[in-house]
Amino acid sequence: MDVILNGLTLAYIGDAYYELSVRTHLIQNKITNVNDLHKKAIKFTAGTAQSLIIIKLMEENLLSTDEIETFKRGRNSSGPGRKNIDAKTYHYATGFEALIGFLYLHDKNRADELIRLAIIFIEKGDFNGKDS
């Protein structure tokens, strides 16, 4: 894609692709009840979870310099936040979504790799003593 997209537009597409990937993962794991799917998906897609994921990816040095810059682009364009989540968590979650959106458009294999890691982190609750 030759068009340069702003951070929020990248987050918009990244949110959709990440959500679809999580839902696909849950269905592949034989979860078919819609209420169960929704409850389990929230553990992966809530802003708190996305914020913890991006922090973990950076702490583990799993992102390139360009990927960190893309995250920051999304984080910095995320606006005032939402009522149900603190501003820093919201900004980090938006940055994570922007990174996934950018990678979805430019390197889908890498987007899938980071999503697989995110799913593993959430399933293990692997956040340096923090529980998702």
Residue 115: Cβ-neighbour burial (10 angstroms; 0-12, 13-18, 19+): buried
Assess whether 15 carries a catalytic annotation.
Answer: yes
- Catalytic annotation, pick one of 15, 36, 86, 107: 15
> Which parts of 30-64 fold into alpha helices (H)?
34-45, 47-59
Q: How many CB atoms lie within 10 A of CB 96?
A: 28
Show which residues are catalytic. Answer: 15
